[in-house]
Amino acid sequence: MDYLTLEDLANVPEEKLPMLVLSDNLQGLFGLLIKLVTNSFYSHFMWLYRPGVMATQSWWFHDREVTSFKKNSLKVFWCPTWTPEQRQTLIQVIDKCMSQGAWDTRYDVLGVIGQFLGWDWLQSEKHQYCSEHISKLALVDPNALEWLKHVRPTPEEVNIWLKEQKNEDGSDKYPVFCRVVPG
């Protein structure tokens, strides 16, 4: 595992994408609240799905330049065994989700309030938290499909699940590609 700069991360070649990214915004109040409510180190999940571009859920699901995450500590996972077809499937579903627009992909604000109050029933079936975008992984990973039948994961639960996944030879299925720390 390497430590990279945001510029290095922006230059990851397309054939290695998409990658799964956990983030900790070191100065954001909303991220701090998410960490407190979910008892997590990480407050955000996103996809690095095009060179230099993240697919991220803020108030809606949209893309942002990698270099705009200057105040974030990032942990980047990847899957070296994905086929080009699996990679393309994930990129297509991310693109399709983004094409739905801001209103249809808006953040599940009521769900966050419900989490804070312990009322999980306030979560929307239609709208997602950032970490629920891990659900796209179920299209190429049957283990993710099974896991997601039982959980609407927090960023920390995504982190734990990715670290637990192993290949048949015992190697990490989703090794950490790099980390990026604010500098």
- Cα distance between residue 134 and residue 59, in whole Å: 17
58/73: higher pLDDT: 73
The 10s digit of each residue's pLDDT in 56-71 is 877 767 799 999 999 8
The answer to whether the CB of 34 falls within 8 A of the CB of 155 is yes
The 10s digit of each residue's pLDDT in 46-56 is 999 999 999 98
- Cα distance between residue 133 and residue 162, in whole Å: 14
Place of tokens 């637990």: 164
- Cα distance between residue 141 and residue 144, in whole Å: 5
- Cα distance between residue 63 and residue 105, in whole Å: 12
Instruction: Say what the pTM is.
Output: 0.83
- Cα distance between residue 6 and residue 74, in whole Å: 9
